[in-house]
Amino acid sequence: MKTGKVFAEVKESICLKPGFYRLVLKASQMAKEAKPGQFAMLWPTKSQEPLLGRPISLHGIDQKKGEVSFLYQTVGRGTALLANLEAGNEIGILGPLGNGFTLQSNAKKVVLVAGGIGIAPLLPLAAALKNEGKKVELLFGAAKCDFLVGMDAFADLGCAVAVATVDGSLGQKGLATDLLKDSLAKERPGHIYACGPKPMLKAVAEIATESGIPCQISLEERMGCGFGVCMGCVCHQKDENGKEKLARVCKEGPVFEADEVIWHG
């Protein structure tokens, strides 16, 4: 378990679209240890403000260069401070944290379902799956085209990419789950992986269960410490006897088997 914050140098900070940024850090030890689906806590300044780090999924893991990258959307003071970083700045970082995705060796084809910024942790997963010779399809949904970022990197890996927007501004008009239903009707994958808003994840889990397809989901929650002490990011999960228990998204997750998560509301 990583419990000590260290400082890493910013290699580059790029605005991809208004409100969306990619941050690349020189962090050789993290790059060596990180796995797809894990995250890190980031502190944009050396001062005590903000006091709490911001949990952000790993979007890129480059062991050869000793670099890790993060794709994020500015939604508050912490991420706004991150957006002000420039090459050469130092940033506080703690990680890699949490449990990542499990690769399914017997699956010839896998489907990745992303909602909005939930695309972030799926890129290193796609790279790992393609490295194993898998056929990978990305189904990417958002409210409108302004919120679709990062999909070109999947195409560069050789993944098939389908897009849906609620307003119909790009791709199919509708939801990522509509794309999933269409995809399953054409070809059954061996596994489904998903990250995005809870309503989408709940719908993906239901579709996967009804279809009898194994599915892993990455939950997004607000976090305080990042390693299971503050209990600020709990979700509801089934234990081995099917009874409800609390699980920490930062410690037991953020990746869970979809059929183990209990959805309330």
What CATH number is associated with residue 29?
A: 2.40.30.10
Whether 102 maps to a domain, the answer reads: no
Question: From edge to edge, which strands make up the β-sheet containing 191-195?
Answer: 172-173, 160-165, 135-142, 109-115, 191-195, 215-218, 255-257
What residue numbers bound the domain in which 37 lies? Answer: 6-97
pLDDT of residue 112: 98
Q: How far apart are the C-alpha atoms of 189 and 149, rounded to whole Å?
A: 25
Whether 265 maps to a domain, the answer reads: no
Whether 228 maps to a domain, the answer reads: yes
Is pLDDT above 50 for 222?
yes
Mean pLDDT value of segment 172-190 = 97
Q: Are residues 190 and 62 in the same domain?
A: no
Q: Are residues 27 and 81 in the same domain?
A: yes
What domain count does the chain have? 2
Q: With contact defined as beta carbons under 8 Å apart, do 85 and 92 qualify? A: no
Whether 104 maps to a domain, the answer reads: no
The domain boundary, picked from 97, 118, 139, lies at: 97
Is pLDDT above 70 for 245?
yes
pLDDT of residue 123: 98
Q: With contact defined as beta carbons under 8 Å apart, do 197 and 167 qualify? A: no
Per-residue confidence at 221, pLDDT binned at 50, 70, 90? confident
CB neighbours of residue 20 within 10 Å: 20
pLDDT of residue 2: 54
Per-residue confidence at 50, pLDDT binned at 50, 70, 90? low
Per-residue confidence at 1, pLDDT binned at 50, 70, 90? very low
Quick check: pTM over 0.85? yes
Q: What percent of the chain has pLDDT over 70?
A: 95
Whether 252 maps to a domain, the answer reads: yes
Q: How far apart are the C-alpha atoms of 161 and 108, rounded to whole Å?
A: 17
Q: Are residues 184 and 228 in the same domain?
A: yes
Q: Are residues 248 and 126 in the same domain?
A: yes
Q: How far apart are the C-alpha atoms of 14 and 102, rounded to whole Å?
A: 30
Is pLDDT above 60 for 37?
yes
Q: Are residues 86 and 130 in the same domain?
A: no
Mean pLDDT value of segment 93-114 = 93
Q: How far apart are the C-alpha atoms of 263 and 209, rounded to whole Å?
A: 14
pLDDT of residue 234: 85
Q: What is the CATH number of the domain that holds 175?
A: 3.40.50.80
